[in-house]
């Protein structure tokens, strides 16, 4: 059974279509990245999955419960962890008081373990917290009741790079223990590091769902070749070469074609040095988003 | 799962409630302490009061200053207790949900296994914190002070004033609550609550003693009258029950809106 099944999910706010006919599923035990630029409708989907907003059309099930059925959804919520984007807390309580309250609502068997990894200053009032500390407190409350499914909206925003890496490592461990993770992000690099599959949403519509490896394959490789005599674009007239740039005797391009063909071609030139690396992940994004990327 | 949300939220409200109670208690002591000098002055204040227009006397509940009951009713209960505390209840309730919805604070709680209905009821109960503290402390303060100045007030009717004003304050809270859930902006709900309670109070006051007196029946202030209880020792149970019913209706209305809206 899929942990989350979204079918024909549509949400309109007046004339604005925030989600349009979304259909995808999140399998049990996978980390699913929900990727899209800001304002593409990621949070809207998440709000519907948790029953905060009602779908205009279509529906979704979460752990088997229909999101339109409050009672059904409520009955599985002790198995769901949730981290909102830029989580908002009541600033007048301390982190410990907040966690105590949430522990009474849903339990906290893993609280101490999580507080070993994520370290918000529990004795201080939340209004004194930095963005990163709020995010860590949010992460602790999302996982402390040991849920089967965790839904997170931009979970690493506000975390410093070290904490981000710790968080990614933690997520992979959780996945290996059988937990399902659904998280949204607008940073492809982060999705690439932890996700098994990725759904890409743009302007409320789902562009594609695929495995991360396929996504990267489609993005190709970044290739840099240093030759004895400068190469021109016409010298390498192959399928799958894009963004060809020349800098002195070095050329650089993204290659999505057949490597044999490329190497055959390169042997006809005197190659001094060659580098093959993963493309900047934003470039992969560009292939899906085209010119409107980031708008 | 006991009343976890109520306890959590009430604890946050306790400091404000104690502060409010201290201020009102200090004011009550001051007002009662003023009474002997008025009672013992030679001026015929009651004659002056009778010369006031009907709407002023009714609106402010000023009937007679020649007794401690009339004085306390007018100076303390009509104005401070009914009008100001009514505004406060509407204002507080106005912020309770709208603020949480606006800031998205509600998401973290709604993601837990608590139903919307339960959350609403528990949060509403927490809003009663200031009311509970005030109703426990203020009658003692007023009664104690009247004994100190040697003009003891009848404790039974003093308690009755508090008892009949509870349903009234619940209605004010309910009005604020409905606004709070209907509007997603904290300010709108809070200021709207204050405006509505104040306009209803005005409507009740200006129509008193006129041909349009019936218009004032839409105002909750029409159904609670501390002067009547303290001075005339008349308690209208029916009015109190009616206000209680309206308060429950408002709670039910806010529940319906909260169940069906996107938050």
**CATH 3.30.300.30, applies to A2-216:** no
Contact B115 A77 (CB under 8 A): no
Helix (H, G, I), strand (E, B) or coil at B200: helix
CB of A82 within 8 Å of a chain B CB? The answer is yes
Residue A70 forms contact with B (CB below 8 Å): yes
**Location of each CATH 3.40.50.300 domain in chain A:** 2-216
Q: Give the chain B residue nearest A83 (alpha carbons).
A: B108
Per-residue pLDDT of chain B (263 residues; tens, 9 = 90+): 579 999 999 999 999 999 999 999 999 999 999 998 888 876 777 777 777 777 777 766 777 777 889 889 988 999 899 999 999 999 999 998 998 999 999 999 999 999 999 999 999 999 999 999 999 999 999 999 999 999 999 999 999 999 999 999 999 999 999 999 998 787 899 999 999 999 999 999 888 878 888 888 999 999 999 988 998 888 999 999 999 999 999 999 999 999 999 99
Ordered by start, the domain boundaries in chain B are: 4-260
DSSP assignment of chain A equals: -EEEEEEEEEEEETTEEEEEEEEEEEETT-EEEEE--TTSSHHHHHHHHTTSS--SEEEEEETTEETT-HHHHHHHGGGEEEE-SS----TTSBHHHHHHHHHHHH--TTHHHHHHHS---TTSBGGG--HHHHHHHHHHHHHTT--SEEEEESTTTT--HHHHHHHHHHHHHHHHTT-EEEEEES-HHHHHHH-SEEEEEETTEEEEEEEHHHHHHHH-EEEEEEESS---GGGG--TTEEEEEEETTEEEEEE-S-HHHHHHHHHTS-EEEEEEEPPPHHHHHHHHHGGGTT-
Residue B126 CA to residue B13 CA, distance in Å, equals: 8
B262 contacts on A by Cβ (under 8 Å):
47, 52-54
Identify the pLDDT of residue B2. Answer: 76
pTM (two decimals): 0.85
Q: Please tell me if residue A279 touches chain B, with a CB cutoff of 8 Å.
A: no
Tokens of A47: 């709000």
CATH of A221-278, one of 3.30.70, 3.30.40, 3.30.450, 3.30.1760: 3.30.70
Residue of B nearest to A55 (CA): B262
Complex prediction ipTM: 0.86
Q: How many beta-carbon contacts under 8 Å exist across A and B? A: 69
CA distances from A187 to A155, A158, A200, A225, A283 (A): 11, 13, 11, 29, 12
Q: Which segments of chain A belong to CATH 3.30.70?
A: 221-278
Q: Helix (H) and strand (E) counts for chain B?
A: 12, 0
- pLDDT attached to residue B185: 83
Is A273 at the interface with chain B, CB within 8 A?
no
Mutation site, A105, A149, A182, interface B, largest B CB count within 10 A = A105
> β-strand A149-153 against A80-83: which pairing, if any?
parallel
The model's pLDDT over B33-91, given as tens digits with 9 standing for 90+, comes to 999 888 887 677 777 777 777 777 776 677 777 788 988 998 899 989 999 999 999 99
- Taking CA–CA distances from A68, the nearest residue in chain B reads B260
A134 touches chain B (CB under 8 A): no
Please answer whether residues B66 and B39 qualify as being in contact, where contact means their C-beta atoms are separated by less than 8 angstroms: yes
Question: Minimal Cα–Cα distance from B136 to chain A, Å?
Answer: 26
CA B80 to chain A, closest CA, distance in angstroms equals 28
Contact assignment for B5 to A102 by CB distance below 8 Å: no
d(CA A61, CA A64): 5
User: Alpha-carbon torsion A246, A251, A253, A258, what sign?
Assistant: positive
In this complex, do B108 and A93 lie within 8 Å of one another by their Cβ atoms?
no
Task: Give DSSP secondary structure letters for B221-263.
Answer: GGG--HHHHHHH----HHHHHHHHHHHHHHHHHHHHHHHHS--
């Amino acid at each position: 059974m899929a942990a989350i099944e979204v079918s024909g999910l549509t949400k309109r706010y007046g004339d604005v279509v925030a989600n349009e006919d979304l259909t995808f599923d999140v399998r049990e035990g996978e980390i699913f990245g929900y990727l899209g630029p800001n304002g593409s409708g990621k949070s809207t989907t998440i709000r519907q999955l948790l029953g905060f907003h009602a779908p205009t059309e279509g529906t979704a099930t979460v752990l088997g419960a229909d999101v339109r059925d409050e009672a059904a959804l409520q009955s599985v919520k002790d198995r769901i962890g949730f981290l909102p984007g830029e989580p908002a807390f009541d600033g007048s309580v301390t982190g410990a008081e907040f966690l105590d309250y949430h522990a009474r609502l849903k339990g906290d068997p893993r609280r101490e373990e999580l507080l070993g990894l994520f370290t918000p200053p529990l004795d201080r009032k939340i209004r004194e917290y930095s963005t990163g500390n709020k995010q860590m407190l949010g992460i602790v409350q999302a996982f402390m009741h040991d849920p089967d499914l965790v839904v997170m909206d931009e979970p690493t925003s506000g975390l410093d790079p070290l904490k981000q890496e710790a968080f990614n490592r933690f997520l992979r461990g959780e996945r290996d223990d059988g937990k399902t993770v659904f998280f949204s992000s607008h940073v492809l690099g982060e999705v690439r590091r932890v996700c098994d599959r990725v759904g890409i949403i743009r302007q409320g519509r789902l562009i594609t769902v695929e495995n991360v490896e396929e996504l990267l394959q489609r993005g190709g490789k970044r290739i840099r070749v240093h030759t004895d005599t400068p190469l021109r674009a016409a010298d390498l007239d192959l399928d799958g070469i894009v963004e060809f740039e020349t800098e002195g005797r070095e050329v650089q391009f993204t290659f999505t074609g057949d490597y044999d063909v490329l190497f055959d071609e390169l042997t006809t030139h005197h190659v001094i040095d060659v580098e093959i690396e993963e493309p900047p992940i934003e470039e992969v994004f560009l292939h899906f988003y085209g010119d409107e990327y980031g708008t | 799962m006991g009343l976890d949300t109520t306890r959590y939220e009430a604890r946050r409200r306790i400091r404000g409630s104690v502060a409010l109670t201290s201020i009102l208690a200090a004011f009550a002591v001051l007002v009662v302490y003023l009474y002997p000098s008025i009672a013992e002055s030679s001026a015929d204040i009651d004659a002056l009061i009778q010369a006031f227009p009907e709407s002023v006397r009714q609106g402010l509940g000023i009937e007679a200053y020649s007794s401690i009951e009339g004085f306390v009713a007018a100076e303390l209960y009509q104005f401070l207790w009914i009008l100001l505390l009514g505004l406060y209840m509407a204002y507080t309730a106005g912020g309770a949900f709208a603020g949480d919805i606006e800031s998205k604070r509600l998401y973290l709680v709604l993601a837990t296994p608590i139903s919307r209905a339960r959350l609403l009821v528990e949060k509403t109960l927490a809003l009663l914190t200031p009311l509970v503290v005030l109703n426990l402390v203020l009658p003692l303060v007023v009664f104690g002070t009247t004994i100190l100045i040697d003009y003891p007030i009848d404790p039974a009717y003093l308690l009755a004033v508090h008892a009949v004003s509870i349903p009234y304050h619940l209605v004010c809270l309910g009005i604020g609550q409905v606004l709070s859930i209907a509007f997603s902006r904290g300010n709108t709900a809070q200021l709207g609550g204050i405006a509505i309670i104040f306009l209803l109070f005005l409507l009740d006051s200006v129509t008193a003693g006129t041909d349009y007196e019936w218009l004032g029946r839409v105002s909750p202030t029409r159904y609670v009258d501390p002067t009547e209880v303290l001075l005339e020792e008349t308690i209208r149970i029916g009015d109190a029950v009616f206000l209680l019913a309206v308060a429950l209706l408002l709670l039910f209305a806010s529940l319906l809106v909260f169940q069906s809206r996107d938050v």
